[in-house]
Amino acid sequence: MKAIVVTDQAAGAAGMKLAERPEPQAAINDVVVQVHASGFVPTELAWPPTWTDRLDRDRTPSIPGHELAGVVTALGYGTTGLSIGQRVFGLADWYRDGTLAEYVAVEARNLAPLPGDVDFTVGASLPISGLTAWQGLYQHGYLQAGQSVLAHGAAGAVGTMVTQLAREAGAYVIGTGRAADRQKALNFGAHEFVDLDNDALEDVGGVDLVFDVIGGDIQKRSAGLIRAGGTLVSIVGPTEARPADGLAVDFVVESDRAQLSEIVQRLRDGRLRTNIGNIATLDDAVTALNPTERIKAKRITGKPIIRVRP
Amino acid sequence: MKAIVVTDQAAGMAGMKLAERPKPQATINDVVVQVHASGFTWDELSWPSTWTDRLGRDRTPVIPGQELAGVVTALGYGTTGLSVGQRVFGLTDSYRGGTLAEYVAVEARNLAPLPGDVDFTVGASLAMPGLTAWQGLFEHGHLHAGQSVLVHGAAGAVGSMVTQFAREVGAYVIGTGRVAHRQKVLDFGAQEFVDLENDALEDVGGVDLVFDVFGGDIAKRSVAVIRAGGTLVTIAGPTEARPADGLTIDFVVVSDRAQLTEIIRRVRDGRLRTNIATVATLYDAVAAFNRTERRKGKTIIRVRP
């Protein structure tokens, strides 16, 4: 099968190559999925599990990409809950070969059914951003109606999900980003927007939850805004900052079938919009996923999706 | 750390050795658990996942054991939901195993909190048979009150859990096994017992669900007693046996925190009894597993006294 492979960590995204790889086999409780659409996170090539397995052994050549939408073509020994021919979407294991390929083997519990009226491209754009927002707001942040949320990077893939889910839960949402992101953040439902380059973050006043995707100085300054009993939730690794009277939680997203189903249901109801940037074919993926100065200048803030099957 | 290791698939359980191994590291979303008690399933050494990883690569020397109860000693990058010092129990990934050791690295989502009043030995005995029974009856068999269930091997680790869960939801339970196990099966709550060597399975009449742990001829004969719309659920692998008007489902158990929590609550309430045959130390583990007589119930290794 065709796949994007990486073999050299130092080469970064420039080291991606379209190559021929053997089709994966379904292990116990796996399914094999024919990938129709794949999502890739630009920082993936810096993550240890892209390069080594859980025993720290080299696993190159490795196939990046962890989000997928597609059709089940095989079941592993003992696999239940999904059927051959079923449309599915979800998140592949960080330590296994990924979704920038024609086929991928994934534990069935990491996938959920994708309803027939949701496009594969949309399905592949939801897992990381949707599950990250869901888990950060509800499992770790215990968000409730009437609370206020500071959503950093509110025009990005994760931030737009955070904004929409927090609004739906009845929270007051303050989005942040660069000046150019203002309208997009407001369109996704933020009540207010803070331009991180020009506005004073400290003017926001108190919030109950900070959803951090930036880290560093922004994270530290944000922690100071958190009310007693509030929470700093971060997806950029262990936090240095901690609210004076509250919790700091850093987490890595995990796949969860029930949560994926909640997310896709909201999408069908029109309560959630996805945030897709470029869409490219697998043949064009290497170019599409290597951001040139031209693309960077255009500031495409949505998620790049590779449409593996046209 | 000390661990039981196997390196030679052909040697079977005789190939188990107590050895010194490096302590495992917590990967992303893992915890490291100091193992207090470990459960081992008899046919584990015949499973492909014991010997190779998901890419089919040799993973020997392997530490077997998939059930555990213990205390969290480290969190991996990004791990949430469990804390250092917390008592936990659960089921590892079958491609990682590793609970017959002083420490094991496990995905946090495969574990649940173990309440302070439940012994580690009990915790380690519940994960595999408890989840297997739960998933077979409720997720795959869709069992409900008023239905009848034929439970094979009802005196065994899995069968005794199946019997108790099925009784609790209001099903009529017919247990099977060898004649020597009749009283034990009835004690776990079966309303009837079928001696597989001397009674006619076909005399059972119609049942809604067969929970099979044997496969082969028993599975084939059992489908004849399944009513229209009923289900054969099996953990003995893919089978040709299929009810005339019903479903066959074979499955391998998957760990699930919410289900582990349901199971442990029932133990605390006195609604569920565990089925432990033998408890041995890690030093005695190899001898305990290589005993010739077959015992009904789990063999648990108490890693920390």
In this complex, which of A96, A109, A249 lies closest to B54 when CB atoms are compared? A96
Q: How far apart are CA B190 and CA B174, in angstroms?
A: 6
- Tokens matching residue A218: 């922004």
Pairing of β B103-107 and β B30-39: antiparallel
B46 & B135 share domain: no
Which residues of chain B neighbour A95 with C-beta distances below 8 Å?
27-28
Cβ A48 vs Cβ A95: under 8 Å: no
H-type helices in B141-282, by residue range?
157-168, 182-187, 216-223, 257-269
Low-confidence ranges of chain B (pLDDT < 70): 292, 294-295
Q: What is the C-alpha separation between A256 and A110, in angstroms, rounded?
A: 6
A54 contacts B77? CB cut-off 8 A: no
Class of domain A128-250: alpha beta
Of B122, B8, B117, nearest to B61 by C-alpha is B8
Chain B residue with CA closest to A235: the answer is B78
A95/B27 touch (CB, cutoff 8 Å), yes or no: yes
Cα separation values, A119 from A16, A34, A37, A114, A129, Å: 27, 15, 9, 9, 17
Q: How much is the pLDDT for B53? A: 93
Which residues, including other chains, have CB under 8 Å from residue A294's CB and lie 6 or more apart?
none
Kindly state whether residues B135 and B180 are assigned to the same domain: yes
Paired with B290 in beta bridges are: none
User: What residues does each domain of chain A span?
Assistant: 2-126+274-307, 128-250
Q: Do B80 and A140 touch (CB under 8 A)?
A: yes
Determine the pLDDT at residue A294: 54
- On whether both B15 and B54 belong to a single domain, the answer is yes
Average the pLDDT over A212-238 and give the result. Answer: 95
Same domain, B102 and B134: no
Pair A122, A274: CB distance under 8 Å: yes
How deeply is A98 buried, as exposed, middle or buried, from its count of CB atoms within 10 A (0-12, 13-18, 19+)? buried
- What share of chain A in percent tops pLDDT 70? 97
Exposure letters A113-130 (e unless 16+ CB within 10 A, then b): bbeeebebbbbbbbbbbb
CATH code at B145? Answer: 3.40.50.720
Q: Quick check: A21 pLDDT over 90?
A: yes
Q: Measure the CA–CA gap between A117 and A148, rounded to whole angstroms.
A: 34
For an interface test with B, the pick among A54, A57, A79 (most B C-beta atoms closer than 10 Å) comes out as: A54
- Name the band, by pLDDT with cuts 50, 70 and 90, for residue A290: confident
B97-125 in b/e burial notation, b at 16+ Cβ within 10 A? bbbbbbbbbbbbbbbbbbeeebbbbbbbb
Do residues B43 and B103 share a domain? yes
Mean pLDDT on A80-103? 97
How far is Cα B292 from Cα B131, in angstroms, rounded to an integer? 28
Q: Does residue B110 fall inside a structural domain?
A: yes
The Cα B162–Cα B151 span in angstroms is 7
* Domain's final residue, options B250, B267, B288: B250
Q: Are A75 and A159 in contact (CB under 8 A)?
A: no
Residue A105's φ and ψ, nearest 5 degrees, are -100, 130
B270 lies in some domain: no
Please report, as a single letter, which amino acid is at residue A179: A
Q: Do B252 and A78 touch (CB under 8 A)?
A: yes
What's the rounded Cα separation, in Å, for the pair A3 and A71? 17
Check residue A104 and give left, alpha or beta (phi > 0: left; psi -120 to 50: alpha).
Answer: beta
A23's CB contacts (< 8 A; 6+ apart) are: A1, A32, A102, A103
Same domain, B134 and B101: no
Average of per-residue pLDDT values in chain A = 94
Contact B254 A109 (CB under 8 A): yes
- Chains A & B: contacts with CB separation below 8 Å: 62
Mean pLDDT of A157-177: 97
The domain containing residue B63 runs over which residues?
2-114+275-302
- pLDDT value, residue A299: 59
Q: Is B39 in the same domain as B100? A: yes
Chain B residues within 8 A of A50 when measuring between CB atoms: none
Residue B233 in contact with partner chain A when CB distance is under 8 A: no
Of residues A296 and B10, which shows the higher confidence score? B10
Q: Is residue B243 part of a domain?
A: yes
Whether A208 and A147 have beta carbons less than 8 Å apart is answered as yes
The answer to whether the Cβ–Cβ distance between A252 and B94 falls below 8 Å is no
Which pLDDT does position B205 carry in this prediction? Answer: 87
Contact of B49 with chain A, judged by CB distance below 8 Å, is answered with yes
Tell me the two tokens of residue B280: 């041995």
Model pLDDT, residue A300: 61
Write out the two tokens for A76: 């592993």
Q: Where are the beta strands (DSSP E) in chain B?
A: 2-5, 17-20, 30-39, 67-75, 87-91, 103-107, 111-113, 148-151, 172-177, 192-195, 207-212, 226-234, 246-250, 276-281, 298-302
Question: In the CATH scheme, what architecture does the domain A2-126+274-307 have?
Answer: Alpha-Beta Complex (3.90)
Average pLDDT (A15-43) is: 96
**In 10 A of CB A81, how many CB atoms?**
19
| Exposure class string for A143-156: b at 16+ Cβ within 10 A, else e | beeebbbbbbbbbb
Tokens 């900070």 label which residue? A210
Q: Cα B244 to chain center, whole Å?
A: 29
Strands A30-39 and A67-75: antiparallel
Rounded-to-integer distance, Cα A145 and Cα B118, Å: 37
The predicted-structure confidence for B203-233, as pLDDT tens digits, reads as follows 998 999 999 999 999 999 999 999 999 999 9
CATH of the domain at B83: 3.90.180.10
Q: What values do phi and psi take at B198, rounded to 5?
A: -120, -20
Q: Do B106 and B205 have their domain in common? A: no
Looking at the structure of chain B, the number of domains it has is 2
User: Is residue B258 a part of any domain in this protein?
Assistant: no
Given an 8 Å threshold on Cβ–Cβ distance, is A29 in contact with B254? Answer: yes
Q: Is A145 on the interface with B (CB under 8 A)?
A: no
